[in-house]
């Protein structure tokens, strides 16, 4: 079955450490997205990519980095510069922006906790 796989499901980070969250899709979607979800704040866009080797900052990109070397993969690195990284991270994908617009398919999420 096609879908999006996020790993790990739970991740613990020590102060000053960089960690990388994995996101892989086999839906042949062009666009991929990373969101952060905190209680009471809804979904906030971190980075998005519409084609391989290209990505754009979202609303809260500071302290995060991404790469898009393959169509199927869009890993997110949470750097030590992100001061409050504890959150639920969601990866999503969709067909490329155009007409009609398509809904996103989401992964099952990674819960990151700073220890």
Q: Please report how close the Cβ of residue 71 comes to other proteins at its closest, in angstroms.
A: 19
The stretch among 12-20, 63-71, 76-84, 93-101 that binds other proteins (CB under 8 A) is 93-101
CA 32/CA 27 separation, integer angstroms:
11
Site mask for other proteins (CB under 8 A), range 49-78, x = bound:
---------x--------------------
CA 93/CA 95 separation, integer angstroms:
7
- If you compute the radius of gyration of the chain from its CA atoms, what whole number of angstroms results? 13
The residues that touch other proteins, with contacts defined as CB under 8 A, are: 4, 6, 40-43, 45, 48, 58, 88, 90, 92, 97, 99-109, 111
């Amino acid at each position: 079955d096609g879908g999006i796989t996020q790993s790990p499901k739970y991740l613990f980070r020590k102060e000053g450490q960089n960690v990388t969250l994995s996101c892989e899709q086999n839906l042949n979607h062009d666009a991929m997205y990373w969101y952060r979800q905190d209680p009471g704040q809804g979904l906030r866009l971190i980075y998005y990519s519409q084609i391989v080797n290209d990505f754009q900052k979202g609303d809260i990109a500071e302290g995060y980095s991404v790469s898009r070397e393959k169509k199927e993969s869009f890993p997110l690195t949470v750097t030590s510069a992100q001061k409050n990284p504890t959150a639920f991270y969601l990866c999503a994908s969709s067909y490329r922006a155009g007409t009609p617009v398509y809904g996103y398919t989401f992964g099952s999420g990674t819960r990151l906790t700073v220890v």
